[in-house]
Each structure stands twice: as structure tokens, then as C-alpha cells.
Chains A and B, each alone.
Chain A
């Protein structure tokens, strides 16, 4: 018998455990008719303001709730709860991203079944959340007009794993000399064909069109059930 090491083929995705947990979540969400949207961005891009506006606008007509991930504090959850929607904070401690297990744990003992929309706000970070599937139907990447038009080129992976890009704080675009054409070109460079929405949570600009898109996605997903 040979004393040399032997090579055995094992083909597995390293994040098999997260993938399985995300698949189980997706099945539960689909079974319950809940459309799940996750939000990723750098810190300060306006995820919470955007989500506050979404919960407020959809809350009258749909059953909506949100899970919000942060390293520390429940400030965002308390702020969002003012909309009247059910909101739960996931405090990740030192972990720089959400994983499917954390979402599953947050759902435990929480009355989420019967929701139309569940929003999951990831930890503010454009690197780490890219790799982890959370069982969502739609992943949004947000970036604000103050961040620089080349953000997509610097963080191609997160843009590549997201389904939709949302440019926030569009009400101050001209004040900060935001180059809209360059921003769109850079998004299309890292993710050809990616739909882009420009919105302002403050002035409400672009929100109606965005809400219309979200509602059509919910209808499509419920018709597929």
C-alpha cells in the first residue's frame, strides 16, 4: 500500500451550509407568499431612510415588516418601528454581514407568516454581504450621489450579485455635481442590463415608480405560487 497522500475529489461549495439554510428560508417565504427584499450598501448610503419611506408607503396597503442587521445598537429598529411596521433588530456583534442562519434565528418566535413584504437590511458594508445568500427574492444595492460615481467599479462583486441598483439622495445630485451618466455607465459595466432606480427618500422623487416595480414583483411572485 502506498504511503503517499492520495487525492480525493470532493466538489462542494464552501458555503454549502449557508446555501442550504438560504434554500430552506426561500422555500418558507414562498410557501407563506412573502416577497423578500434585501438591501446592501456602504454605511451612510441611506438604507434606513429608504426603508423608512418604503415601510410607510407600503404599510397602508400591505402587511410589511423588516429585519435590520447592525454590529451594535437597536437604533435602526427603533427608528423604523415608528412607521408602525413590525421590525426586529439583528445585532451581529463583530460579524460584518448577515448569514442565512441569523435570519432564520430572527424569524423564530416572530409572527412573520402572512406578510406580503419582508425587508432585510444588511450590515452597512459593500464587501462581505456579497457572498452570503439570505433566501431573498430580490437583492438591492444602494449607493448615494455623495459616494462617487466609480463605486460600482470599486466593488464589482456586490453589484454583480445584486438584482437592482438604487441611487439614493437624488435630490442633492446637482449640489454635489453627481455625474449621472458616469454612474449609470459604471453600473452597466459591472452588471450589464441591471435595472437602476433613482430615488430620494427625503423629497419622495422616484418613489412612486419604484413602489410600482416592487408591487408588480409581488404580484408576479404570488401568481407563480
Chain B
């Protein structure tokens, strides 16, 4: 359950941003990739637990799931994959070690109220 560690790190970041701007945060927007090693539902539960008793108690998570996109050296084009356990081009079958997206574990935006 490393999602709790991640939820606490996220709260620290949100706290820092909100404090600096002197605002109240109503929603926290994230981007999450399948190769981040973080499970969406576990992160949501951990965040709900971690936010209790903090100024972010009312802040909800809005998670955008990002697909795995690799670069195919043979097709010379980015390709979206269905799964994280078969890193090869869906068109020509060439192995695709270069990952363009799918590792995201990012805070991207905050919805705030003055």
C-alpha cells in the first residue's frame, strides 16, 4: 500500500501550492499512467483517508488516466498500446523500448476558491 505514501506526498504538494496562493482547493487534477506503479482506486482511498483533518478535507481527486504510448522504431511513429506487459508495436510487432507516455504520476492542476 505505497499509495498512502503517495497520497501524503500529494497533500504536501497541494498544501504548498494552496498556502503560497492563499486559496482553498476544491479539486486536485492528476494524470496517472499504467506504468506509474500506482493503482487508481487505491490512491483515491488513500487520499480520502489522508485528507481528513487537513485544510484539503473537501478537495476531490480528478484523475485522467494516460495510455501507454511508445515510439516504434520501424514505423517511425508513436503507437498507443492496450497493455503495459507487451511493449511491441501493434502494427508491425517490433519491440518498442522507448516509452513516450504511461509513467505519469503528476499533479497537473488545482481548482481553487479565493
Q: A: which residues have CB within 8 A of B? A: 1, 5-18, 95-97, 99, 127-128, 130-132, 152-154, 156-158, 160-161, 188-193
Contact = CB atoms under 8 A, between A and B. Distances in A.
B78 interface: no
A131 B12 contact: no
B2 A8 contact: no
Given A130-B37, A153-B85, A14 B30 contact: yes
Measured as residues with beta carbon below 8 angstroms from the partner, the interface class of chain B is 35 or more
Interface string B16-33: 010001000011011000
B2 A96 contact: yes
A10 B9 contact: no
B44 interface: no
Given A5-B26, A5-B27, A6-B112, 15 more contacts: A5-B112, A7-B110, A10-B110, A11-B106, A14-B10, A16-B9, A17-B13, A99-B5, A130-B37, A132-B2, A154-B85, A161-B37, A189-B86, A192-B95, A192-B97
B80 interface: no
B87 A95 contact: no
Contacts, number: 108
Contact of B109 (A9, A130, A156, A161): A9
Given A7-B110, A127-B37, A193-B97, A97 B13 contact: no
B38 interface: yes
B1 interface: yes
Nearest to A11: B108
A190 B87 contact: yes
Contacts of B21: 8
B88 interface: yes
B94 to A, nearest CB: 9
Interface in B61-114: 84-88, 95-97, 99, 105-114
Given A9-B109, A96-B1, A189 B87 contact: yes
A153 B85 CA distance: 5
A33 to B, nearest CB: 30
Contacts of B114: 1
Contacts of B107: 10-14
Given A192-B88, A192-B95, A8 B109 contact: yes
Contact of B85 (A5, A128, A132, A156): A156
A134 to B, nearest CB: 13
Given A5-B112, A96-B2, A13 B87 contact: no
Contacts of A154: 85
A193 B13 CA distance: 36
B37 A16 contact: no
B17 A10 contact: yes
A12 B88 contact: no
> Which of B2, B97, B99, B112 has most chain A Cβ within 10 Å?
B2
Given A8-B110, A14-B107, A128-B2, A158 B37 contact: yes
